Amino acid sequence: MDKKYEFKENIPVLMLHIILAALAANAYFFTRFNTKLIPVFVLCFIAGCLMPALLLRKIPGKMLKLCYFGTKMLVMFLVTTVISIIAFICGIFMLEEKNYWLMAGVPFLVELVYFWIGIICVYIGSKQLGMRYRVLGILVGMIPIAHLVVLGKIISVCDYEVKLECGKHNLDEARKDERICATKYPILMIHGVFFRDFEYFNYWGRIPEELEKNGATIYYGKHESANPVDKSGEAIAARIREIVNETGCGKVNIIAHSKGGLDTRSALCFNDCDSMVASITTINTPHRGCEFADYLLGKAPAGLKDKVAASYNAALRRLGDKTPDFIAAVTDLTASSLAKFNEKTSFYDPKARGIFAQSVGSTLWKPAGGRFPLNMSYLLVKAFDGKNDGLVGKGSFQWGEKFTYVESTTHRGVSHGDMIDLNRENIPGFDVREFYVGLVADLKARGL
């Protein structure tokens, strides 16, 4: 993201905010000498609580405003707590009347107000805290030191969320008229296995909205989630024809994730629809299959496979699939099946058919970097496929004219799910929404 569009805070206002809050928290220390100052400190308390509101006009969205306000209140709580402790220690030696309860009680009550206003606001307003930090905050709330560590993490997550979202808002506003994602042909987004891209849940997270903000026209595959590659290919080909016939757009640009990339290749190779496709971008697709899948299917007892398949198929029927086939879908992702598929499709050259084809892949650096179940599968996949995204090995991603390898600048890495914003999580070092804006802007630049 361009640094000139990053969110910049009004530091003088925030410093005044801290000063007023600190004065209010330590009112007893000062009013001990002159009780007429009490109304002044009451005003300091009110002004200190309201001061961050002066900066809210720069924050887009009600929830983000609430998150920002809460974050500043929590920062104020931490800073003024330290100041209050120092003032208390000094007061012990400076005040003749050793009224320790009042000296400690007034700051405690004021800090309590700061804390609860802040924590309630961030719990309601933040989209990035997730259940983990919300639950941790409750569990360790009364444990000394541990609660400060968790509070620091909560502040860090929320602060990063506000700055990132404000920066993205500023960037989108600045380039709104450019419509950098307004491609000649619309975007057709194809989901992977065991998920659906319509009804109940948006498979692609915040990505479609970001693309549309920048001029893109988005359609979805709307095919079933657990069919073999050939059957899914037929459904995708039908969907391509449907979009082209209904809109008159002529062609579509396809962005396909995981098994969706294989389904798309099957659609073009065997269903006579490639004249209606301008480009294909596969995201973390196992073009050469997954060796760990061969191992699991080969070692698992038939009874166990049947039970797992029956459970998945039943769940997928409830989500809308008419003919889910768990075993067939998984088998088509094995290295042995993909070797046959690649041989079968070796005749097909997208470039020779006038289609721009490219691929994208990413790597997870450690199990803890992924969310369930990718954190569980990472080591197994690594044993068979080497570097991987939690499901697919690095060596399986590359296909087409251009290959883009995504690496996070942090130790976390970027997982199979991160590449479609599955958890709606802001990952330091990798902005998934801006990554897709770049992909689609490149398609536009190519005249597609």
Task: Give the number of other Cβ atoms within 10 Å of residue 131's Cβ.
Answer: 7
Give the span between the Cα atoms of 44 and 329, in whole angstroms.
65
Domain end among 140, 173, 206: 173
Looking at the predicted structure, is the pLDDT value of residue 394 above 70? yes
Here the CATH number for the domain that contains residue 193 is 3.40.50.1820
Give the span between the Cα atoms of 413 and 363, in whole angstroms.
6
Phi, then psi, of 55 in degrees rounded to 5: -100, 0
Q: Which residue carries 């003024």 as its tokens?
A: 80
More confident position, 196 or 388: 388
Residue 216 confidence class, pLDDT cut points 50, 70, 90: very high
Looking at the predicted structure, is the pLDDT value of residue 379 above 90? no
Q: Are 291 and 438 part of one and the same domain?
A: yes
Note the pLDDT tens digit of each residue in 159-173: 999 989 988 988 898
Domain end among 173, 202, 222: 173
Q: Are 77 and 134 part of one and the same domain?
A: yes
Q: Are 140 and 164 part of one and the same domain?
A: yes
Residue 237 confidence class, pLDDT cut points 50, 70, 90: very high
pLDDT of residue 41: 62
Strand partners for 253: 187, 279
Return the top range by mean pLDDT from 95-109, 278-292, 416-430.
278-292
pLDDT of residue 357: 97
Q: Are 376 and 284 part of one and the same domain?
A: yes
CA Rg value for the chain: 28
Could you give the C-alpha distances from 192 to 203, 282, 383, 387, in angstroms and in order? 9, 11, 23, 20
Give the span between the Cα atoms of 368 and 370, in whole angstroms.
5
pLDDT of residue 384: 86
Give the span between the Cα atoms of 236 and 221, in whole angstroms.
6
What integer is the mean pLDDT of 231-245?
94
Residue 193 confidence class, pLDDT cut points 50, 70, 90: confident
Q: Are 283 and 392 part of one and the same domain?
A: yes
Q: Are 359 and 320 part of one and the same domain?
A: yes
pLDDT of residue 32: 58
Which tokens is 35 given?
């009780």
Q: Give the residue from 302, 263, 72, 278 showing the smallest Cα distance to 183.
A: 278
| Domains in the chain, number | 2
Give the span between the Cα atoms of 80 and 56, in whole angstroms.
22
Note the pLDDT tens digit of each residue in 107-133: 777 778 888 988 999 999 999 988 888
- Could you give the angle at the alpha carbon of 296 between the alpha carbons of 360 and 298, nearest 5°? 120
User: What's the residue count for the chain?
Assistant: 448
Q: Give the residue from 160, 161, 81, 166 showing the smallest Cα distance to 115.
A: 81
Q: Are 205 and 96 part of one and the same domain?
A: no
Q: Are 217 and 237 part of one and the same domain?
A: yes
Domain end among 157, 173, 189: 173
Note the pLDDT tens digit of each residue in 245-263: 999 999 999 999 999 999 9
pLDDT of residue 21: 67
Residue 105 confidence class, pLDDT cut points 50, 70, 90: low
Domain that holds residue 132: 3-173
Q: Are 299 and 223 part of one and the same domain?
A: yes
Q: Give the residue from 22, 66, 65, 29 showing the smallest Cα distance to 45.
A: 22
Q: Are 151 and 239 part of one and the same domain?
A: no
Q: Are 192 and 162 part of one and the same domain?
A: no
Q: Are 65 and 117 part of one and the same domain?
A: yes
pLDDT of residue 346: 92
